Amino acid sequence: MAEIEEVVIHKSMRLHTLEELPFDNSYARLPDAFYAKLSPTPFSDPPYLVSFNSAAAALIDLDPEEAKRPEFAGVFGGSLLVPGMEPLAMLYSGHQFGVYVPQLGDGRAILLGEVRNERGERWDLQLKGAGLTPFSRDGDGRAVLRSTIREYLCSEAMHGLGIPTSRTLCIVGSDHQVYREQVETGAIVLRMAPSHIRFGTFEVFYYRKQHEQLKVLADYVIAHHYPHLIDAVDKYARFFDELVERTAKLIAQWQAVGWAHGVMNTDNMSILGITLDYGPFGFMDDYDPGFICNHSDHNGRYAFNQQPYIGLWNLSCLAQALLPLVTKEELKAALDCYTPLHQTRYSELMRLKLGLEDAQPEDESLVNDLLALMCQSQADYTNVFRALGDFQSLQGAQNEGIRDFFVDRGTFEKWAARYSNRLRKHRSSDADRRERMNRINPKYVLRNYLAQIAIEKAQEKEFSKIDRLLALLQNPYSEQPGMNDYAAPPPNWGKQLAVSCSS
């Protein structure tokens, strides 16, 4: 297997070249107990660029022209390092499907370092699929083209929807063979986040009774990601308060767009309250509150309607790990705020999805009764809410196009009459409401079948479908000419796709 080289090519540009990326690797300055330093393992076959995301490149001031260089695939395909990189695999543990696992860590991900952009923002550059690490356990350290495409597209789709998330810069592929349910080709996705620290990073030091390291970690997180708390006497408690709020509101956003994470283990929960780790996930097609997107989740622990509760459960696990730093009473008080915070944000989002700008007592039943009708009719979640933007509130309006989503048309018409009365209280025009609703109800989401089509084409080394989907999903609220097919419900084969943890 080829040895990793260090590329040193000097080039003066306004934007950064690969070699000029300004690394500031604060995490590597932490004690050795936090990570294992090692380099990525190159593929056995030459790497090549599959897709490049210029929007993510802008976050680190990287010149998009760099993607055309042959060295680009080498650097982000794990075979080349540039000055400033200090690759390492991060240690953490976590509760997986409710069971504590004492040591996990980056089993197939390697943090290359942290780039600080001109705005002072830090971005972790992490290769997923970069080979074995000391934390790989029985894994091979690799990712497959299929899973990298899904993560690449979904993280950008979530950002396009306005949901806090990690980002992705590129996919680098190879003919290197990887064994999953079948033989597939290997690939690496370069993912970016202000931090990849997880709930489980705190848990590992708590359960090892390494409380000094726990304090070092908490101080690091606060200094770099919650700096307004540095001088607070109760900074650890206030940090947890803020994380509870961020997590509650994040999961409300997931619920409002009909998205399920699939593996909400504590090691996949971000200490920043952003969406992290895209393994099995799914946007609902037909509305089903019990939607399970991970076919390995046999008991439905991470079903769509369980996500709010699991968010609280995971925060409770983190609270346990923070007991050496925060009193039990302070932690409980923060956890008690979770459900009201989540419900308030979710209710607000659902009112906005119906075009309602103020809160009225009947709004909760209006939303719940619509969802019940959608479930009964197996109506498409995304398309129903988008179509409601065209709802005519004038008395006597038929709204046939929307009514056709529902099997029980009589019950829908009764609901529509209530909705129409509620809209008329607003005294805003239907046109104004439609504009507002189209800013919160997306036209396009990353349906599993769309990702699968792009994956199958990519496996034939035809990558244009990935780039087309990427551009579409970065602007999901606007009507895009010639792209109506991408808003269509899935064909029958597309409703039966199995997505597992290897995805």
Banded model confidence at residue 496, pLDDT cuts 50, 70, 90: confident
Whole-angstrom Cα distance, residue 501 to residue 294?
Answer: 7
The verdict on 187 and 285 lying in the same domain is: no
Mean pLDDT of 339-352: 98
Query: 323 with 374, same domain?
Result: no
Residue with tokens 């899973």: 147
C-beta separation of 40 from 4 below 8 A? yes
Q: Which of 181, 196, 211 is the last residue of a domain?
A: 196
Q: Flag whether pLDDT at 157 surpasses 50.
A: yes
Note whether residue 456 is domain-resident: no
Do residues 27 and 102 make contact, with C-beta atoms less than 8 angstroms apart?
no
pLDDT at 6 over 50: no
pLDDT digits (tens, 9 = 90+) for 60-81: 999 999 999 999 999 999 999 9
What are the pLDDT digits (tens) for 361-403? 999 999 999 999 999 999 999 999 999 999 998 877 889 999 9
pLDDT-based confidence at 9, cuts 50/70/90?
very low
Domain presence at residue 469? no
Residue at which a domain ends, from 138, 163, 196: 196
485 in any annotated domain: no
For residues 328 and 368, state if they share a domain: no
Residue 125 lies in a domain: yes
Q: What is the pLDDT of residue 13?
A: 41
Same-domain pairing of 298 and 216: yes
Joined together, the tokens standing for residue 238 give 């206030």
> Which percentage of the chain shows pLDDT scores above 70?
96
Confidence label for 502 from pLDDT (cuts 50, 70 and 90): low
Pairing of strands 88-90, 35-37: antiparallel
Say if residue 101 is in the same domain as residue 216.
Answer: no
- Shared-domain flag, residues 83 and 182: yes
Amino acid at 329: E
Q: 3-state class of 459 per DSSP?
A: coil
Q: What is the pLDDT of residue 501?
A: 67
Question: Residues 63, 267, 285, 297: which is the catalytic one?
Answer: 267
Q: What is the Cα 110 distance to its own chain's centre?
A: 18
The token pair at 116 is 């600080």
Q: Are residues 260 and 164 in the same domain?
A: no
Q: What percent of the chain has pLDDT over 90?
A: 91
Of the residues 409, 436, 463, the one at which a domain ends = 436
Query: How far apart are alpha carbons 400 and 404 in whole angstroms?
Result: 6
Identify the band that residue 2 occupies on the pLDDT scale cut at 50, 70 and 90: very low
Q: Are residues 22 and 155 in the same domain?
A: yes
Q: Could you tell me if residue 273 is inside a domain?
A: yes
SS3 322: coil
CA distance 490 to 449: 6
Confidence class of residue 240 from pLDDT cuts 50, 70 and 90? very high
Cβ atoms of 307 and 289 within 8 Å: the answer is: no
Residue 138: inside a domain, yes or no?
A: yes
Q: Are 62 and 21 in contact (CB under 8 A)?
A: yes
Same domain, 141 and 34: yes
Q: Could you tell me if 182 and 220 lie in one domain? A: no
Tokens of 435: 């504009």
For residue 212, what are the domain limits? 200-348
Question: How does strand 122-128 pair with strand 183-193?
Answer: antiparallel
CA distance readout (Å), 375 to 72, 123, 125, 239, 362 = 47, 41, 41, 39, 20
> CA 200 → CA 136, 221, 227, 494, distances in Å?
16, 14, 22, 35
Domain count, the chain: 3
pTM more than 0.85: yes
Any domain includes 285:
yes
- Same structural domain for residues 40 and 138? yes
Active site residue 267: yes
Q: Mind giving me the DSSP string for 341-404? A: HHHHHHHHHHHHHTT--S--TTHHHHHHHHHHHHHHHT-BHHHHHHHGGG---STT---HHHHT
Helix (H) or strand (E) run with residue 179 in it: strand 167-179
pLDDT tens digits, 79-125: 999 999 999 999 999 999 999 999 999 999 999 999 999 999 999 99
User: Is residue 342 in a domain?
Assistant: yes
Q: Are 73 and 157 within one domain?
A: yes
The pLDDT of residue 5 is 45
